[in-house]
Structure 1
């Protein structure tokens, strides 16, 4: 199903019993989050809050609350996109099976971003930060946050949409030292594309132009969280997954605007201008604390007619981002295994908050002329895993040799840990990496 807007997706979900409406006024301070959490816990439908206290805009959450609902939303394109990602990860497959992958090139070409005309829906009106739903999920949060943003930036050395980055990094809209309607806070961790773009802009002494898209067709937020293979842009992926090309234009100030978004916030980040951001109730089950993060000076806030604010609730797993992770795994399949020789499976354990704990299975190609069996090859695989994008933020990695138990399942947490504990030699198998890449959620200290 190719949705042209978030509204079209909501109508389709409601028609098929996947969405409920709450018509009564609901308080964005804690109440909306509490309702969301209870509905998600029971694997309930998406929720449209029609009457948000203090705002003229309705809000929707839990769109991706179950994997089945995500599959329903993308029921017409999921298999096609899985093939596109597969061939991008391993182009030689096209040579080995030319007929099987004959349509992949056409899929990619038909999904390329396209410039929008004069009648872009987002041009309908303008508003202010204070008029948006001021949603606070947890009592000690530093203020209202945008929890489902698509943050767009371009490379100062290679400007243009095909070299741009679209990521999901939380945005603090108020509280702390932010000047309401003029300033908001950007929060991003290490290994994010926006960090590369800001570094390049800083080197040139230029402000970084940032566009924050909220809402729009459901393929857009999925694209913002996807770990895509090199050469496949988030905007092209959004076009393929949504069966509708990503439409955009540049406003009078040179900011890229998503034509189909419900809201677009534009602004600039100047070199080394930071303000305290947080606290924020995070996905590890505790608050990430207040830290200095980039300050974004707001230029404009655009919205479409009948705009709907999209949000989620972040907290101790499982949450809606758990279902996001399941959808990502559904799409990417064995992409990581193709990149790392000898790797058979890896699981970022959701119950631990995804980043902290990894399980992996690799091939230990034992030396046949030596009787002693000891970990060798899987140490190489482990190092490769810990150097891979966001996997480098892991605190613990348990890796086992497939040869020891070909039926070992990384998704069976109890069974996997039992397998490890039955075989581990703590004098040989325990390895520490100190003073290495961590994120700001790490409060475990630096004593080691």
Structure 2
């Protein structure tokens, strides 16, 4: 597996690459952090626009922010792929490489071993490099008011840090044992100059680590990296297995070892080339009401208690940049990232469920609430088997409340094709599977109870064997030779000059 793009060791190198391609727009005009900046981001994203750098962000009272704000970093599929070091067409191939890295086949001879050198190099890239000094610790900020945190939506409770890479480790682990670290992107609500609320749901790695410290009755060290390099950002957002550390895995994505440095105040290692690092502690039992905030569902979430982080120190580069994003009803930046992750995960899904030909998580369906799966169907009941296997494969698929299974002659990413399959290959009395009382996203207000809901599986495949007592109709299709004749005939006429009228 070869990388198509250079290594981006930090956010700045990626921004320089974007600028060289004409994909960075510097905005010198004053733009308020409250609501207006979010509106500009959404407008740029929905137009397929560039990365934005707000050079004159304006806070409460009209005060100019002390640092530029960067937004819409991954606002296009091409930039998400670039963050992985890839051209867009190489994403699926890279997914196959990652699937092989997770479950490599046995080596057969020296030639086979040499052919796997890229895998070995990627594995070695997962070992972080510890520095004694780092750019992110060049200076310190007095408190959170120095960071230009935006308030995105009119109904939001206040300023919200939206691209935090939250670094935690379990109780009993050593600060240097980075293989046990978790990096997660969790909402962080600012409630004071030295207080943040960390919204991590129970199934997330940060929450699991928090439970180990709470059981021990000890405060948990936490660090938040702001403005990390693209590989660290994307690794923190990827749905990796619980046994894989995002910090070490980012080395595979980046193509070089992750540089880390001991935090100044808490016993943790932090990304050495981030723009800002916020260090602090989460004490057992200390919570505060978080929200409401606009979320990826297009609704404001309910107010719920989540852990409070007491900020102990903030370090940053000499001239820091603050990276932000906005979450709302798709399309938004997370949904664009999700589209690329869909393609990245496909080979992993195929490795577990070999008959799968394609999986599409429509971005408009909150990125993961609905899945359309095409399969190579060979036996009765196979569609139901695939539904159940997908729901149980990754924790993230437990939040997929509808799975539609189609045959491989259907384009799973084309709603017209899927609608035709539903209309002609599905009978509601036979082909619908309903599960009750299964895990669900707390933000799904349609569920009868918070965190608990049903699942719907729809078998829109051609019925075979014991699935039907009727002869199935034959799908109509034109002869390929006739199609080629028609295309050639029309192409000649499109290329011909227009006829002139006789005078």
TM-score of the superposition, structure 2-length normalised? 0.80
**Which range moves more in the overlay, 69-78 or 134-143?**
69-78
Instruction: Check if 1:65 corresponds to 2:75.
Output: yes
Instruction: Check if 1:208 corresponds to 2:215.
Output: no
- What does residue 232 of structure 2 align with? 220
In 1: Cα distance, 2:442 partner to 2:200 partner: 9
Instruction: Check if 1:127 corresponds to 2:133.
Output: no
SS in 2 for 1:103: helix
In 2: Cα distance, 1:288 partner to 1:276 partner: 12
Instruction: Check if 1:314 corresponds to 2:327.
Output: yes
- What does residue 188 of structure 2 align with? 171
8 Å Cα contact 1:281/1:287 also seen in 2: yes
| Offset at residue 67 of structure 1 (A) | 1.5
8 Å Cα contact 2:122/2:251 also seen in 1: no
Q: Which runs of 5+ in 1 are unaligned?
A: 175-179, 367-373
8 Å Cα contact 2:83/2:234 also seen in 1: no
- What does residue 198 of structure 1 align with? 210
- What does residue 380 of structure 1 align with? 385
SS in 1 for 2:308: strand
**Which range moves more in the overlay, 248-257 or 55-64?**
248-257
Q: Residues 308-349 of structure 1, C-alpha deviation per residue, up to 9 Å, x if partnerless?
A: 011111111112222212332344441112123433332222
Equivalent runs, 1:98-177 vs 2, <5 Å = 98-159=113-174, 160-174=177-191
| Offset at residue 29 of structure 1 (A) | 0.3
CA change 1:432–1:28 in 2 (3 A) is same
**Which range moves more in the overlay, 83-92 or 380-389?**
83-92
Q: Residues 92-115 of structure 1, C-alpha deviation per residue, up to 9 Å, x if partnerless?
A: 175595443222112221342111
In 2: Cα distance, 1:427 partner to 1:158 partner: 53
CA change 1:108–1:84 in 2 (3 A) is farther
- What does residue 441 of structure 1 align with? 443
Query: Cα RMSD (Å) of the superposition?
Result: 2.4
Instruction: Check if 1:390 corresponds to 2:405.
Output: no
In 1: Cα distance, 2:445 partner to 2:215 partner: 31
CA change 1:210–1:241 in 2 (3 A) is same
In 1: Cα distance, 2:281 partner to 2:108 partner: 45
CA change 1:119–1:193 in 2 (3 A) is closer
**Paired residue total:** 431
**Which range moves more in the overlay, 55-64 or 352-361?**
352-361
| Offset at residue 142 of structure 1 (A) | 1.1
CA change 1:116–1:361 in 2 (3 A) is same
In 1: Cα distance, 2:419 partner to 2:213 partner: 46
In 1: Cα distance, 2:234 partner to 2:375 partner: 29
8 Å Cα contact 1:88/1:229 also seen in 2: no
8 Å Cα contact 2:342/2:359 also seen in 1: no
TM-score of the superposition, structure 1-length normalised? 0.89
8 Å Cα contact 1:60/1:309 also seen in 2: yes
- What does residue 28 of structure 1 align with? 33
In 2: Cα distance, 1:93 partner to 1:63 partner: 39
Larger Rg: 2
SS in 1 for 2:433: coil
In 2: Cα distance, 1:330 partner to 1:445 partner: 28
- What does residue 253 of structure 2 align with? 241
SS in 2 for 1:321: helix
